[in-house]
Amino acid sequence: MQSIVILVSGRGSNMEAMLAAGLPCRVAAVIANKADAKGLETARARGIPAVVVAHAGHASRQSFDAALAAEIDRHAPDLVVLAGFMRILGEDFVRRYQGRLMNIHPSLLPAFPGLHTHRRALDAGCRVHGCTVHFVTPALDNGPIIAQAAVPVRPDDSEETLAARVLAQEHVIYPQAVRWFVEGRLRLTEDGRVRLSGEQTAAAALLSPPPDAR
């Protein structure tokens, strides 16, 4: 059975979704960069090793990355999953785990990389918004896309209501992407392309607003 390590910075709701999904893998450890991350409590309650590698204790990003990598490697995971891990990781770290470092971003990449995605989608007048699971590369929020989920943007949406609708879809597609990987169905090729065996073709396009039914 393959194993994963999950990195969190806060409550870890995507981590909770993975644990609830009954994935065919072992969670070797949950690692946080903050001692008060709620995700650590969830891990401990389930008997999963919970470790803190505090970024505040390191003078440089390189020093933190090295300490984090050392802790990850101690658990020898097949996949490293970023689940609300709010630290930018350096190029050397990312390349160390190339093809087995996964993240989820709350937008339909390549639209709205970075922060405040829901506000920016509303300000841009988007009709659809969503989330993206991708392999991590040195370029921020720019890695090869594994899966996406789209939601409609409603006229009365606030950042909070839109974020909640997107988060619900994150909890669906992120565990699915991890499942594909640990089942050996998902890989990143040498030329940086995502390959997924047994992929299903979408039955219909998503249109928002929908065409008039006449």
- Looking at this protein, which amino acid is placed at residue 106? P
For 161, residues 6+ apart whose C-beta sits below 8 A from its C-beta are 154
Catalytic entry in 105, 118, 129, 134: 105
Long-range contacts of residues 198-203, Cβ cutoff 8 Å, at least 24 apart: none
58 among known catalytic residues:
no
Query: Are 33 and 57 in contact, with CB atoms under 8 Å apart?
Result: no
Query: Are 3 and 22 in contact, with CB atoms under 8 Å apart?
Result: no
Residues in the chain: 214
Distances (CA, A) of 40 to 15, 46, 80, 184: 10, 10, 16, 28
Q: What tokens were used for 7?
A: 């990195």
* Catalytic annotation, residues: 105
